Amino acid sequence: MLKILCAAAVISLVLGILTEGLAEGWLEGASILLAVIIIVTVTSGNNYIKEKQFQKLNAMAAAKDVHVYRGGDLIKLSVYDLLVGDIVQISTGEIFSVDGILIDGSEIEVDESSLTGEPILIKKKVPTTYDEKISPFLISSSKLMSGTGLMVVAAVGKSSYYGKLKIKIQQDQDETPLQIKLTDLADQVGKVGMFAATATFLAMFLHYIYDCFVEGDFLASFLSMETVNEIIEYFIIAVSIVVVAVPEGLPLSVTIALAYSVGKMRE
């Protein structure tokens, strides 16, 4: 739509200067270009600010301090500063931000349902002998439900289990059924808008041809600069219909569709 508006603005600018002169002919085309510039600037600026705020909120939500043994001393450190080999003190209710191996602890039970979907608590122990049922591995994003202990950091950031899973999810973003339906709905709204714009343009153009016939000298009236100006005006009106119909019609259609679906679900 913005490309069509820019094309219409350039054509209107050139024809306006040729027909009305430089003093007033540039106003309409320049106004359209100014509107496009304002729309693009405001939209991109708004999206940029929202994206920055979203990233900041995510960083604040993920940021937390943990107790780490370094150089023989127990210090408080941000999870972003953890390194492989650090010994971290863990306690009940903690959600692991890194992968680790349990080296000391008692009554350790971990909830890994966020990764595996299994609601059963898994017991973790420090292995003293080889036993397949004993697991000392603590996975990032799992939650410590009971017990306290120490773990040595085995993987951080993108190298951790949750980090790898998050990268894979971000890379393989399949559209949800709602997004597919909304895309189809947007295409339908766009087609209806294009049909209405085309019909409006043809109606105005045929009416102008009829007026030229009524005036008597059809060729003299039709083959003139005024005809070109009128066609450009009709084109701009048609583009305006599409520009208004698509952004305004889609949210309304989505609202109606969702309200209808909720009504069906209640039945």
The 10 Å Cβ neighbour count of residue 88 is 23
Tens of pLDDT, residue by residue over 28-61, are: 778 878 888 888 888 888 888 888 887 787 777 6
Tens of pLDDT, residue by residue over 123-138, are: 888 877 776 677 888 8
The predicted pLDDT at position 164 comes to 85
> Per-residue pLDDT averaged across 160-176, rounded?
74
> What is the C-alpha separation between 88 and 93, in angstroms, rounded?
15
Query: In the structure, what pLDDT confidence band is assigned to residue 251 with cuts at 50, 70 and 90?
Result: low
Give how far Cα 160 sits from Cα of 18, 63, 98, 100, Å. 66, 16, 6, 9
Tens of pLDDT, residue by residue over 140-152, are: 888 888 888 899 9
The predicted pLDDT at position 203 comes to 92
The predicted pLDDT at position 202 comes to 92
Tens of pLDDT, residue by residue over 71-94, are: 778 888 888 888 888 899 888 888
- Mean of all residue pLDDT scores within the chain: 80
Confidence check: pLDDT of 252 > 70: no
Three-class HEC string of 67-132: EEEECCEEEEEEHHHCCCCCEEEECCCCECCCEEEEEEEEEEEEECHHHHCCCCCEEECCCCCCCC
Please report the DSSP string for 140-189 in residue order. TT-EEEEEEEEEEEEE-GGGSHHHHHHHHHHHS-PPPHHHHHHHHHHHHH
CATH of 65-157, one of 3.40.50.300, 2.70.150.10, 2.30.290.10, 3.40.720.10: 2.70.150.10
The predicted pLDDT at position 248 comes to 53
For residues 54-69, one letter each, b for 16 or more C-beta atoms within 10 angstroms of the residue's C-beta and e for the rest, the string is eeeeeeeeeeeebebe
For the chain, domain boundaries: 1-62, 65-157, 174-267
> What is the C-alpha separation between 39 and 265, in angstroms, rounded?
39
In this structure, of 9-18, 60-69, 170-179, the range with the lowest mean pLDDT score is 170-179
